[in-house]
Structure 1
Amino acid sequence: MQEWIREQLRSPLPGSVSQRCRRYRFVIRASGALKPPRPRLCAIQQSNGVLEMTTLVKHAKKRRNTRRKTLIGGVIVTVQAAGAIIALGYTSASELPELDALERLAISTAAADQYVSGTSTGFVKGEDEKYSRQQVTPASRGLTYVTYSRTYKDLPVFVGGEAVVVTDSKSTVRSSTAGSGPLQVSTSAKVSAKKAKAVALGKHQGTVRGEPTLGVIAEGDGRLVWEVVVSGDGEHGPSVAHAFVDGQTGAYVGSWDEVARGTGNGHYNEQVHLDTTGSAGRFELRDPTRGNMRTLNDAASGTPFTDADDVWGNGVGSDLVTGAVDTQYAGAAVWDMLEEKFSRNGIDDAGRTATMFVGLPAANAYYACAGTGDASRDQTKYGRTTDRARQVNSVDVVAHELGHGIFCHTPGGSRGITNETGGLNEGTGDIFGALAEHFVANPNDPADYLVGEEVNLSGRGPIRTMYDPSKNGDPNCWSTDIPRTRVHSAAGPLNHWFYLAAEGSKPAGKPASPTCNGTDVTGIGLWQAGEIYYHALLRKTSGWTYTQARKATLDATRELYPNSCAEFNVIKAAWNAVSVPAQGDPTCTTGTPTPTASPSAPGPSSSPTSPPGGEPAAAPDIDGAKVEAHLEELGRIAAANGGNRAHGTPGYRASLDYVKGELDAAGYNTRIQQFNSGGKPGFNLIADLPDRGDHDKVVMLGAHLDSVDIGPGINDNGSGSAGILEVALTYAASGAKGDKAIRFGWWGAEEDGLVGSKAYVTSLSAAERESITAYLNFDMIGSPNPGYFVYNDDAKGDFITEALEEGFAAEDVPSEGVSLRGRSDHAPFMAVGIPSGGTATLSLVPVMSQAQAAKWNGKAGQPFDPCYHRNCDTVENISTAALDTHTDVAAYAAWKLTGVHAAGGSEGSTHVTNNTHFPIRDRSVVESPITVQRDGPAQAVREVKVDIVHSYRGNLEIHLLAPDGTEYLIKRPSRLDRADDVKLTKPIDSSAEKTDGTWKLRVRDLHSGNIGTLRSWSLIF
């Protein structure tokens, strides 16, 4: 049935009303159906632009491990003129079916189709224009981008003809982008196709492919043109130019080229992991896990690279196999980045990527987009430096070329008639190059905003400098000359904008960036800026200009951050700072909080409280998946550093830079403290959160960041480092503010004898030591045979021990005291009288006892961590359940010891609770309501408290639904979270919502085999 839906997504817009009815019926009822249901009734009502369809069906819903049949009753779907699904009702008394991602995508597509094809929807089109759906792109945050091509009187619209409709998670049409307004132009050409060929060949060297095609360029009322495709060698290498000649006057209009050219870096990534195919004796450099990505030998007519033992290359810069390794490694990194950061499946979002070649006999690299929508038919080729000593295939160069592929395979493609579109294409490549360098975090090529900085192709250093393009003779600022500027130089303003948006004009520890209007810009972070630009690409149209790119990023920002204008204002300020003028810019305003909250009677109970000084706020449940993601990053860094992150190595510094980047983006004030150990420089990282409590009274959490030199150190101590990093990020994001300030530290050279933490404590003045009221240490909190230990070796830290024990009790996990005898980083703090404590998953006893195994469901007589100080201490050596529990306990103690109070302070708070028990069955959805209506001063919901008994909480996904339908994620599902029960209090910010009305807690069980009960939940105002 899901394949049927995919077929519908590929098909044209619905035609007759009966076809529409059939289309929607199948889409809505596909969930769980064994076969397409037979309709008993299909009622149609259409008036004032509203299409309502009702289908009554009976079918068996297949359930895993059971023969039970569920009868589903009537299904009603109403599609508004604007494309919004406003009613989705199920009349059965049985459990509520939930739409999966593919079904939601189908409904969003149907909403977009209705918006484009309907009347009185607000979509403007001419009488002689037709739109055909070309592409459906699901993206992050529930947004879907549906792209349409246009014809005018059955002629193709070559440039400016696309429309992009954006829908949200509720299938509401949020916005649309069209290349131009309605067209009105004669379609009778006065210039012959033969004449058009001659004009095109006068501008482009080569031969004409096929016959010229008559069509339209959408500028003003439209322009009739011949498209002539000329293939040959251009000024800078291979060229497939699409030239446009005016069909009335014979004038040359402009062109775009399928081949996007660039130059790059021959830097090697040294020893890396590659996924290949084959078996002993014949392996092929082809990656079956990433769209069959492969690198071929251009110097040998495109033959595959093969190897007998699956060990590739010799590290010599001119060796083609070594170049193929670098290319394949970088291509895999781009694939992974697109998937992880942007939810994109390959270059074309359909699981495909370009074929890559090394051995191009030129000092260049280029991307050739076939223009078919299938990226596997594209090619990208990489040459060598002018001295022939290295090849042009560093991570940023390969990512730059593949960035051209993304530009080609997003709406509008690479088509345009001036170099302004080409400049945006080149800048897009540079942006993805910078993103990929930061994603890979390879210490052999530190992440920066330089393009090809180490190739020194012509003895002039980097090819382009994103933070100051003028250093390479490119314009920093947009002007009316950009459409006539060489495409690589025309990228200057976009590169400059991206750096300002990501880092700002005066970022700490990074190059300053001059602005064109003399203003200062504060960046929002690399990945935030990258996500915004990617979403802007998804609403791109052909012939894209800087003013259109500006508007697209502002539209994207407003939709990605609907409850904040801070990001919108930074994106706008960055465009102003590179002199790109506004043209139809959206505006951003945030609503004023007006809701009040009270319990309804005789419904859920309420409990107003007013403890002295305000009620202590509960720590949120830390997202274990995010902690695991940090560990994956540390694992990648170790792999790129020869298998470790030891003191004095680039891998340690890359680990520190990664943590620092996350903290800087979250608003922390960070500083790096340098010391020496073993004749090598060492580094600590200290992070303070400004304006959150009394900085004369500080609670500090710390963990050592280094590993031993024979292993990656993922449990020892990537686990503690990742855990407190996510606690820090959550603390900042939650807005928590306590009586005391909070500080975090990551220590270097612990494995050399606590050198980093000793250096930090020694550097403190007496007053600074006095200001630290508590130090909490987290070392090895993810052992595979885990214990749940609390340090008890500091009498002055009894209150810390108590807080940590309370945290374990809140997780329903028994804890046990342990003395580490000064063998971790709390020892230097304890030695100078600073109260200290911490947690660990192992003790100084080598194996787990029988009593401990019974208490923790562990393995008696086995080590807590069999990979301690070994090369097998990888991400596979982690108990994710223990890691999640210890991290939650760290958060509990951080909130408690800093004295974070619930919002409202001494004015107290109101708890509104629904105590009705709801059974949670396998693969089902339950919704529990709380209705709020009261008079009095406005209050916002600030926390939701959930109590669920369940035998496998990783199966559960929990959302809070506001009265207006806004969804707040309370808990993500995770197959790695094997613990029982859900007992959490989650902070939310509902200040922009109307509080009156019915709130719902939706709990969705995604798998079979485990059941439970929603016992109660509360809204806290």
Structure 2
Amino acid sequence: MRRSRSRRALRVTALSSATLVMLGLGAAYTAGYSGVGEVPEPDFSDGGAVSSAAAADQYVTGTSTGFVKDPDARYTRQSVITTPRGLNYVSYARTYKNLPVFVGGDVVVVTDAKGTVKGGTAGAEVEVATTPKVTAAKAKKVSLLIHPGDVAGEPKLGVIAGDGKDRLVWEVVIESRPGAEASRAHAYVDARTGEYAGSWDEITGGTGQGHYGGQVTIGTTTGSGGFEMRDPSRGGMRVLNDRTGQVLTDADDKWGNGTGSDPTTGGVDTQYAGGVMWDMLKTKFNRNGIDGKGGTASMFVGLAEVNAFYSCAGTGDANRDQTKYGRTSDGARQVNSVDVVAHELGHGVFCHTPGGSRGTTNETGGLNEATGDIFGTLAEHFAANPNDPADYLVGEEVNLSGRGPIRNMHTPSAVGDPNCWSSSIPTTEVHSAAGPLNHWFYLAAEGSAPAGKPASATCNGSRVTGIGLWPAGEIFYHALLRKTSGWTYTKARKATLDAARELHPNSCTEFNVVKAAWDAVSVPSQGDPTCTVTAPQPVPSATTPSPSAPASPSTAPSPSAPGTSAPAPSAPNPTATAVQTVDIDAAALRADINEFARIAQANNGNRAHGSAGYKASLDYLKQRLDVAGYTTRVQQFTHAGKTGYNLIADLPGRGDPNRVVMLGAHLDSVTQGAGVNDNASGSAGILEVALAYAASGANGDKGIRFGWWGAEEAGLVGSKAYVSSLATGERAKITGYLNFDMIGSPNPGYFVYGDDTRGTAIAAALKAGFAAEGIEPDSTDIKGRSDHASFKAAGIPTGGTASLSLAPAMTAAEAAKWDGEAGKPYDPCYHSSCDGAGNVDHDALDAHTDVAAYAAWALTGVKAPAEPTSTRVENPADFAIKDRSAIESPITVQRSGQAPATLKVDVDIRHGFRGDLEIDVIAPDGTAYRIKKSSRFDSADDVKVGQTVDASAEQAAGTWKLRVRDLYSGDTGTLNSWALTF
């Protein structure tokens, strides 16, 4: 089996002092080496955080990297955020002539998980006099005229930058007085002229019976004499009484009475909504808490105001933040429905992503307010609570002032907010200034005329087709991760376009919808990126025999790896000509198998129809698919007096929805056991194919659909219910159905279904997939004993694979061909209690799943890049070579097939004593090829070499690195450039 290349964890990593780089002093290098002994290897572990930090440091501080540097600036790295889509975000604060740049000076660099810089956002070069003419005392007086209150601390001198309006300013922090609306404003006064220059505000506006959520489960813990409303599983999330400052307590862990004005009921609603927000961030975006580091704000109920607000302490630690919830104008209800609580916590996400909440106009504040609305909407949809149906209205259940919702995302003007952006937005009240972004999000997610949902008139009269709620949410979340201070609508537009392009490198569908939605709300373009992809070539229809379907022995770039773009050097991606070979992550399959086994163990040992174990299995799949951008729906049916469920997943915007290839597997087990081989194996296999297809950006001629069936063990009940529910026209859209049942038997075979004459093309694609794995399969007729029979009976072409036939044991010929055990059953635990986590051959499961992926790509019409002719790719960035240190310079290659036996490596290094240097080329799999060894007798200057190495054992695609180690003291130098020629 091939190596795993998938990574799906998200972390915000605090880097150790050994890997922090002194910035503003030249190129980045791995610091912290001792003066004697061996030079350590560079550390590129930690989920890509360290390699991303090193590459970003080099990009910001090095020369010839494409980053426009301010000669009077110094940059300090603030955070490294890694994401499950392989895009990492490294943020920096800036000083100008040793003064802080309060607004407009921060930088975000975007890399992939291997450390290849893909782009970023940065403030403009600063040029301003740094000697104040206005005193700090006068700055206080000017600020207090605009923001009545009490000055906290002493004014600080610094700079606000951007749009050619750089200013030396005093920053004055003013806190509101008791009885006034809560505020902690950061006001800026021009330190040369005394003019007010703008501001921003830190404060933006167990089981229990809740008023909005009904009977819900909340996180509590035992306290002195009873229970506390504190959730240890969600970062210690807690609810406090605003009047007493104490955590809510209860004697029996049965909280609230459901009435709108009861403080404890308000606590239930708040803790429930906070838990929904926490779980949604984790499940959908792999974000750990509000700040990404496991922290969340303290939540207070009982505020004696018709309001709710969030106070961000600005420390980087959300545990020091507070959010408070008041009452409605009539006093009948508290302001803590799911969308309102998640809205306030969404301000926390805005504060704890790069750039924070800092700005000088209401435009940044408006984007902050709309961010809260977007997270509130996402959380409401995630909760799926029938007591509060999901919609695109904010606060409709609360009815704050007796006039219904406080904001309307599909029609902002319905509540008095602007539908369209205009030049007056920077001076519009912040809640109203949210209107255009809310409108954009609805259009991007649902479109202008979605079926069954409110129409949304566009500002330019265009028609927009949405990409779905969760894909739009993911794009917006990644835009937040590249946010800088002083965010504006034009910057948000560019950030979302960059995010769409990077999240979907092989598709322009999402990019074009995001762009059309911005145009539809009149936000002007300012340096928009462009999107181009190579058009896929057609493959034979699943209804047309294709015995010549090619089997490609070469391995193309991993479908889960994002594409690359400037400024990182990379080889060109040539025109597609062959079916792509896909490698599914074996470790991910193993994790899925273990999770299904755990679910069964926790639910009476099985995942049978109508059981809690089956429902938990379905929920696990649905959450994974929703995060990946699929449109999922659960179909209910009844059998033997129990409710059953099918799960259907479509990937919007990929291929022709009127011509669909479908992959399916049954999800249920028998009651006797966990059903790991039968059929967690097939369910896990097509789940990972679905996730890989979405992550790759694959976009063939046809659409793709996945199905997981209930009650198969009772007679194909679920798949029959699905097929019978389809109208004739809908059935005709399915050009082929591929079934995967028991694909990990412990004594595994490798079989392709051969019982459907209409499925010739499907069988050919599956056999080609096995050929790509180096496996010779056999055909088998399983006589309609799995879910493909339901589709075959409806005239839909079918096929599939299995790791067993209907024979009682493996034959001698099969054992010789597949290295099996003759005379023994393929699966001795079939339909028994021993079909648990140990009853699976993981190599066989990986192979069958790779074959499923190959067929999915082939039959939908996705093609692999063609092998190019000789290609040279160079990294011209300068890297400083320090005494007794090591550097690595990356080159990302997008080229299928093997590297050549005569891979040419050109190296140009300036150095005072070349004998100090040991030079290696590191292949994507970590194999090192020596270019030059060190020698104290090699006393010449510089290294200029063109050398060939035999790299034919390596895949060409991936990130190659030149590693230069200086083993001695006394001489330093610079790596000027290096290149590879394939």
Which TM bucket (shorter chain)?
A: 0.5 to 0.7
Please give the alpha-carbon distance, in whole angstroms, between the structure 2 residues aligned to 1:175 and 1:755. 51
Q: What's 2:183 paired with?
A: 239
Please give the alpha-carbon distance, in whole angstroms, between the structure 2 residues aligned to 1:820 and 1:391. 61
Structure 1 counterpart SS, 2:154: strand
Structure 1 counterpart SS, 2:431: helix
Aligned length: 833
Please give the alpha-carbon distance, in whole angstroms, between the structure 1 residues aligned to 2:356 and 2:151. 21
Please give the alpha-carbon distance, in whole angstroms, between the structure 2 residues aligned to 1:847 and 1:645. 26
Structure 1 counterpart SS, 2:212: coil
Identify the match of residue 200 of structure 1 among 134, 143, 162. 143
- The structural deviation recorded for 1:694 is 13
- For the 8 Å contact 2:738–2:798, the answer to whether it is kept is yes
Q: What's 1:534 paired with?
A: 477
Please give the alpha-carbon distance, in whole angstroms, between the structure 2 residues aligned to 1:379 and 1:134. 23
Larger CA deviation: 382-391 vs 456-465: 382-391
Code of the residue aligned with 2:38 in structure 1: it is K
Instruction: Structure 1 unaligned segments of length 5 or more: list them.
Output: 28-35, 40-56, 62-71, 76-95, 594-610, 913-931, 933-939, 947-959, 972-995, 1005-1020
Please give the alpha-carbon distance, in whole angstroms, between the structure 2 residues aligned to 1:743 and 1:3. 36
Q: What's 1:581 paired with?
A: 524
Please give the alpha-carbon distance, in whole angstroms, between the structure 2 residues aligned to 1:178 and 1:630. 40
Question: Aligned-residue CA RMSD in angstroms?
Answer: 6.4
Q: What's 1:108 paired with?
A: 55
What does the per-residue CA deviation read over 1:868-927, in whole Å, with 9 as the maximum and x for residues that have no partner? 9xxxx9x9999987865664565567678x5979779xxx99999xxxxxxxxxxxxxxx
Alignment of 1:779-928 (within 5 A): 825-826=787-788, 828-829=790-791, 864=831, 866=833, 887-888=849-850, 890-891=852-853
Q: What's 1:397 paired with?
A: 340
- For the 8 Å contact 1:266–1:455, the answer to whether it is kept is no
Q: Relative to structure 1, is the Cα distance of residues 716 and 478 closer, same or farther in structure 2, using a 3 angstrom cutoff? A: farther
Alignment of 1:596-611 (within 5 A): none
Alignment of 1:21-170 (within 5 A): 24-26=29-31, 36-39=33-36, 58=38, 101-112=48-59, 114-115=61-62, 123-125=68-70, 127=72, 131-139=75-83, 143-152=87-96, 154-167=98-111
Identify the match of residue 461 of structure 2 among 500, 504, 518. 518
Please give the alpha-carbon distance, in whole angstroms, between the structure 1 residues aligned to 2:709 and 2:684. 13
Q: Relative to structure 1, is the Cα distance of residues 398 and 817 closer, same or farther in structure 2, using a 3 angstrom cutoff? A: farther
What does the per-residue CA deviation read over 1:583-624, in whole Å, with 9 as the maximum and x for residues that have no partner? 3x144264889xxxxxxxxxxxxxxxxx98452557634446
TM-score by length of 1: 0.64
Q: Relative to structure 1, is the Cα distance of residues 547 and 699 closer, same or farther in structure 2, using a 3 angstrom cutoff? A: closer
- The structural deviation recorded for 1:426 is 0.8
Please give the alpha-carbon distance, in whole angstroms, between the structure 2 residues aligned to 1:855 and 1:447. 57
- The structural deviation recorded for 1:114 is 1.9
What does the per-residue CA deviation read over 1:640-660, in whole Å, with 9 as the maximum and x for residues that have no partner? x9x9998899x9899699869
> Relative contact order (C-alpha < 8 Å, sep 6+): which is higher?
2
Code of the residue aligned with 2:23 in structure 1: it is L
Q: What's 2:917 paired with?
A: none
Structure 2 counterpart SS, 1:357: strand
- The structural deviation recorded for 1:774 is 6.8
Q: What's 2:968 paired with?
A: none
Code of the residue aligned with 2:955 in structure 1: it is L
Please give the alpha-carbon distance, in whole angstroms, between the structure 2 residues aligned to 1:634 and 1:468. 43
Identify the match of residue 514 of structure 2 among 571, 574, 581. 571
Structure 2 counterpart SS, 1:499: helix
Identify the match of residue 294 of structure 1 among 234, 237, 244. 237
Q: Relative to structure 1, is the Cα distance of residues 315 and 661 closer, same or farther in structure 2, using a 3 angstrom cutoff? A: farther
What does the per-residue CA deviation read over 1:327-373, in whole Å, with 9 as the maximum and x for residues that have no partner? 44544554455456556554334443322333434443221011223
What does the per-residue CA deviation read over 1:716-771, in whole Å, with 9 as the maximum and x for residues that have no partner? 97875664455456568686879x99765555787997565445555678999899
Q: What's 2:17 paired with?
A: 7
Please give the alpha-carbon distance, in whole angstroms, between the structure 2 residues aligned to 1:792 and 1:448. 45
- For the 8 Å contact 2:751–2:804, the answer to whether it is kept is no
Please give the alpha-carbon distance, in whole angstroms, between the structure 1 residues aligned to 2:357 and 2:465. 31
What does the per-residue CA deviation read over 1:209-242, in whole Å, with 9 as the maximum and x for residues that have no partner? 2334444433645334443322226998321122
Please give the alpha-carbon distance, in whole angstroms, between the structure 2 residues aligned to 1:326 and 1:645. 34
- For the 8 Å contact 1:383–1:391, the answer to whether it is kept is yes
Code of the residue aligned with 2:199 in structure 1: it is S
Please give the alpha-carbon distance, in whole angstroms, between the structure 1 residues aligned to 2:733 and 2:194. 80
Please give the alpha-carbon distance, in whole angstroms, between the structure 1 residues aligned to 2:195 and 2:410. 39
What does the per-residue CA deviation read over 1:426-473, in whole Å, with 9 as the maximum and x for residues that have no partner? 111222333444555566655543333433344444332323322322
Please give the alpha-carbon distance, in whole angstroms, between the structure 2 residues aligned to 1:672 and 1:791. 29
- For the 8 Å contact 1:245–1:252, the answer to whether it is kept is yes
Q: Relative to structure 1, is the Cα distance of residues 270 and 723 closer, same or farther in structure 2, using a 3 angstrom cutoff? A: farther
What does the per-residue CA deviation read over 1:535-564, in whole Å, with 9 as the maximum and x for residues that have no partner? 433343332221222233344445555666
Identify the match of residue 417 of structure 1 among 351, 360, 364. 360
Q: What's 1:1015 paired with?
A: none
Q: Relative to structure 1, is the Cα distance of residues 10 and 579 closer, same or farther in structure 2, using a 3 angstrom cutoff? A: same
Identical positions, percent: 53
Please give the alpha-carbon distance, in whole angstroms, between the structure 1 residues aligned to 2:243 and 2:673. 40
Identify the match of residue 550 of structure 2 among 615, 632, 645. 615
Structure 2 counterpart SS, 1:296: strand
Structure 1 counterpart SS, 2:173: strand
- The structural deviation recorded for 1:208 is 2.5
- For the 8 Å contact 1:786–1:882, the answer to whether it is kept is no
TM-score by length of 2: 0.66
Please give the alpha-carbon distance, in whole angstroms, between the structure 2 residues aligned to 1:662 and 1:459. 39
- The structural deviation recorded for 1:423 is 0.3
- The structural deviation recorded for 1:515 is 1.5
Please give the alpha-carbon distance, in whole angstroms, between the structure 2 residues aligned to 1:778 and 1:235. 66
Structure 2 counterpart SS, 1:24: coil
Please give the alpha-carbon distance, in whole angstroms, between the structure 2 residues aligned to 1:612 and 1:131. 60
Please give the alpha-carbon distance, in whole angstroms, between the structure 2 residues aligned to 1:712 and 1:361. 53
Code of the residue aligned with 1:6 in structure 2: it is S
- The structural deviation recorded for 1:490 is 0.7
Q: What's 1:489 paired with?
A: 432
Q: What's 1:267 paired with?
A: 212
- The structural deviation recorded for 1:285 is 4.8
Q: What's 2:200 paired with?
A: 256
Code of the residue aligned with 2:35 in structure 1: it is R
- For the 8 Å contact 2:18–2:31, the answer to whether it is kept is no
- For the 8 Å contact 1:180–1:218, the answer to whether it is kept is yes
What does the per-residue CA deviation read over 1:496-538, in whole Å, with 9 as the maximum and x for residues that have no partner? 2223333433445544332111122344444444344334333
Q: What's 1:929 paired with?
A: none
What does the per-residue CA deviation read over 1:774-824, in whole Å, with 9 as the maximum and x for residues that have no partner? 7554568789x9988989997989989999899899989999999999776
2:258 is the counterpart of 1:316? yes
Q: Relative to structure 1, is the Cα distance of residues 207 and 24 closer, same or farther in structure 2, using a 3 angstrom cutoff? A: same
Instruction: Structure 2 unaligned segments of length 5 or more: list them.
Output: 1-11, 536-545, 552-578, 871-892, 908-919, 927-949, 959-981
Q: Relative to structure 1, is the Cα distance of residues 968 and 685 closer, same or farther in structure 2, using a 3 angstrom cutoff? A: farther
Please give the alpha-carbon distance, in whole angstroms, between the structure 2 residues aligned to 1:717 and 1:888. 17
Q: What's 2:309 paired with?
A: 366
Q: Relative to structure 1, is the Cα distance of residues 445 and 249 closer, same or farther in structure 2, using a 3 angstrom cutoff? A: same
Please give the alpha-carbon distance, in whole angstroms, between the structure 1 residues aligned to 2:596 and 2:177. 45
Please give the alpha-carbon distance, in whole angstroms, between the structure 2 residues aligned to 1:507 and 1:742. 21
Please give the alpha-carbon distance, in whole angstroms, between the structure 2 residues aligned to 1:464 and 1:399. 14
Structure 2 counterpart SS, 1:7: coil
Q: What's 2:955 paired with?
A: 1001
- The structural deviation recorded for 1:425 is 0.7
